Amino acid sequence: MANNSDGILRIPIRIAHEKLGLSPNQLSTIGFIIGTGAAFVIVIGNLVGGLVLLAISQIIDGLDGGVARRYRLQSAKGQMLETIYDRLNELMIFLALAYVGHVTYFMAVLAFVAIILVTIVEPLSKFDPGFKRFMIYFGYLATVVFHVQGFQMAMHVIFFANLIAFIVGTIMVDYRLQKDIDTQAIIRREREITMGIPQPPDDPPSFLSKLFS
């Protein structure tokens, strides 16, 4: 299924695959290497340079999925590789920001743990709000514009957004299961009624149903 970014990145997607002959996995690896470079550049004290590299790595991250979708090269292995690269990149960027003192190690680790939780449940829930590396730019913006500890605030947002996404994700999966179970029970009951099979007696009214009736 086409993604919104596929339209925006239409030309680079074509160039990357048709002119440069790059596969989605190769693009993922290049994005990962640039993301690693971004963390390194932040560690040596060039924050803006690091963020620029991070943005480039994220654009390439968008290209790999775009190439995979457009040229029907999607694979479970590629998907897994991309997820691993993304998580490693996030960890490195968070730790780099902690190393230079923009965030605490405590919040960097907690934010990463929350992201891992969403990563675990997302294949089942198909729900991911995307509050990850992208929030770093807002952190930078808040730091520059409002002179606050923007990166630290970004870590708090990443932590809570992903924690909530994990909770919502688990509930969504459970709700779907319950809906299926109930639907089957309703169909079975209706079929039995049609066939004239006697139904088990209703459970006696509960305290609450007595209260509200």
- Rounded Cα gap, residues 150 and 148, in angstroms: 5
Q: Which two tokens stand for residue 188?
A: 């079975």
Cα first-last separation, the chain: 49
- Rounded Cα gap, residues 6 and 22, in angstroms: 16
Alpha helices in 100-149 (DSSP H): 105-125, 134-146
Torsional class of 21: left (φ above 0), alpha (ψ -120 to 50), beta (otherwise): left
| Integer-rounded Cα radius of gyration of the chain | 24
Judged by beta carbon, residue 30 or residue 110, the one nearer other proteins is 110
Find where tokens 């089942």 sit.
Answer: 124
> Would you count residue 144 as binding other proteins (CB under 8 A)?
no
Which region among 29-37, 92-100, 111-119, 131-139 touches other proteins (by CB under 8 A)? 111-119
Q: Tell me which residues in 85-104 interact with other proteins (CB under 8 A).
A: none
Smallest distance from other proteins to CB 134, Å:
21
Smallest distance from other proteins to CB 180, Å:
10
> Would you count residue 188 as binding other proteins (CB under 8 A)?
no
Among 8, 20, 44, 185, binds other proteins (CB under 8 A): 185
Contact 12, 68 (CB under 8 A): no
> Would you count residue 193 as binding other proteins (CB under 8 A)?
no
Smallest distance from other proteins to CB 151, Å:
17
> Would you count residue 206 as binding other proteins (CB under 8 A)?
yes
Contacting positions for other proteins (CB under 8 A): 110, 113-114, 117, 120-121, 124-125, 159, 163, 166-167, 170-171, 173-175, 177-179, 181-182, 185-186, 202-206, 209, 212-213
